[in-house]
Amino acid sequence: GNPSFSPFLKSEEGDSKGQSPFVMRGDPSFSPFARLLPCPAKLLEDSKGQSPFVRLVYLVFCLLILIFVFGCKQKLLTEEYFPYQTGNRWKYKSYEVAGYFIREFSGTTRLSTTTLRNWVTTFFDTANHQIAVETSYIVITDTMVLYYENLNYDPFVFLKLPLEINNTWTFYIDEEPITAQVITKDEVTVEAGTFSNVYSVKYDDPENEERRYIYYAPNVGIIKDVLFDFEGELISEDELIEYPVRD
C-alpha cells in the first residue's frame, strides 16, 4: 500500500532482493523510417538475374534495413510507454493517504560503467507542504527498463519488450515466484483524462496474497496503479492527475 509505487518484482535472471515489474510493445510493422528506406522485398526482386555475389550484397543490405527499422521501433516503444527524458514529471493522488506525490526524472548517477537516470518521488500533504523525498534509479536498454530500488541492490526488470496480450513471465522475491501477464489493451479514464491503447499488466504475488495492476498509456507512461489482496479487497490505488506537471 505504499503510494510511492515501490515495485515488487525481480528478474529470475538475477540475485536481487526487493521489488519490481513490467512490459510493452506495439505493431512492429510501423516505423517512420520505413518510408525513407527501400523495400527489402523489392530489392530482392530486383536482384533476380544478377550474379551470386550481387544477390548476396542485396541480401545483406536488406537484412541491415530490417535490423535498423526494428531496432528503431523498439526504442520508440520504450520511449512511448515509459517516457524517461529528464524534466518529465507526473502528479498522482493516492486514495489511501491524504495529499499527492510527484515523480520526475532529474539528472543521472554513475554506477561503475553504467549511467542511471534518477527517478525522484516527492510527497506533499494536502497543504502542499513537502513531507518526503525518495530516489530510485532507471536504466534504459533497447529491450527493457531496469529499476534500482537503491544502489545497494541489483536492478529489476521494470518494463520488457515485447508487449502483447497474454504474454506471461515470472520474477522472484527472495526466491518466491511472481507471475506477470499482459491482460488488456484498452481505453482507460483517470482524473488526468481518457487515454487510448493503454496496456494493463497483472502481477500475482502468492507469497503476500496480493495482485497488482499497472496501466501504461502511450506518450504518458504510468497512469494508474491498483493493488488488491487475493480476496479482491482494495489495498491501494494511485491515479495520474496531471502530466506534464506545470510549475
Give just the sign of the alpha carbon dihedral 97, 103, 108, 111: positive
Distance, in Å, from the CA atom of 188 to the CA atom of 197, rounded to the nearest integer, reads 8
Cα dihedral sign, 53-57-62-63: positive
- The one-letter amino acid code at 215 reads Y
Mean pLDDT over 199-221 rounds to 92
The pLDDT tens digits for 106-123 are: 999 999 999 999 999 999
Average pLDDT on 143-150 reads 81
> Which residue's entry shows cell 493493488?
227
pLDDT of 157-190, one tens digit each?
777 777 788 988 777 767 788 888 889 999 999 9
Q: 532529474: which residue's cell? A: 106
Contacts of 243 (CB under 8 A, 6+ apart): 89, 90, 91, 192, 220, 221
Tell me if 96 sits within 8 A of 236, measured CB to CB.
yes
